A and B are shown apart, each in its own frame.
Chain A
Amino acid sequence: MALALAASAAYALDVVTAVPIVAMAIAAAVLWPVRPVPVPPAGGGPGQSRRSDGHGHPYRAWVALVAIIAAWELVEYLARGSRGAHPTLSSMLDAVDRIYALKAALFAAWIWLCVWVVRSGRPAPPGAAAGGGAAAGVAER
């Protein structure tokens, strides 16, 4: 009985997770342009002036950080020993997932991330203000 309930709950969680995934795929296919134009580095808005002179790339620091995180994740994943001794991002988030309220908050954050990504890929409406940042660059091209 308990096993059946657990299996049913796991199936329900699979469905609840699959719905946003499918919705995100459909939203991206419908809302995103077929041929997107990458946003230029310079923001242009107030407080968004970025160096694009070739000496300092605005994305360089983020790319470096993500590369280091990915490398460290791999090192920890491949390290011999228990996961507790070599925590990965997944194992740390699993620990968070054991608390129901935190798991719900994490799920909500993931839904928000899905929406944010889809919205970020949409072209800005014609006539969008320059202060709209880089999104305006999509419409300008």
Chain B
Amino acid sequence: MSALGDAVWALLGVTALALWARSRRGASEVAPPAQVVRRLATGPVLRLALVAGVMFAGWHLFAR
């Protein structure tokens, strides 16, 4: 086990949760995840990367 690696992953996870919580506050300067995904899904190029990323994630996780 790597204490440093585990600690960094845990810190990144907590940061993501903190950002999510902050985005739920009114007048927050952080966009909620739904808005981020909506922005990605409506970008001419970004939406292709988003779909490809989701597809790759599924294949990588379940079909290899």
On A, residues with C-beta under 8 Å from B are 13-14, 16-18, 20-21, 24-25, 28, 32, 35-39, 41, 43, 46-51, 56, 58-59, 61-62, 65, 68-69, 72, 76, 84-87, 90, 92-93, 97, 103, 106-107, 110, 113-114, 116-118, 120-121, 133-135, 138
Contacts and interface: CB of A to CB of B under 8 A. Distances in A.
Grouping DSSP codes into helix (H, G, I), strand (E, B) and loop, the A interface class, with mixed when no group exceeds half, is helix
Contacts of B36: 59, 62
Contacts of B61: 90, 93, 97, 106, 110
A25 to B, nearest CB: 7
Among all A-B residue pairs, the 8 with the closest Cβ atoms? A121-B41, A58-B31, A17-B63, A120-B41, A47-B26, A56-B29, A17-B62, A51-B29
A61 B12 contact: no
A133 B26 contact: no
Contacts of A16: 62
Contacts, number: 137
Interface of B: 1-2, 5-6, 8-9, 12, 15-16, 19, 24-44, 46-47, 50-51, 54-55, 57-63
22 contacts: A13-B63, A17-B62, A18-B63, A32-B41, A35-B44, A37-B42, A38-B42, A39-B35, A47-B24, A48-B35, A49-B27, A50-B28, A51-B29, A62-B19, A62-B36, A92-B9, A103-B62, A110-B62, A118-B41, A120-B38, A133-B38, A134-B39
A65 B19 contact: yes
Contact of B58 (A50, A51, A103, A110): A110
A107 B43 contact: no
Q: Which of A38, A41, A90 has the most CB of B within 10 A?
A: A38
A24 B51 contact: yes
Given A17-B58, A110-B61, A62 B30 contact: yes
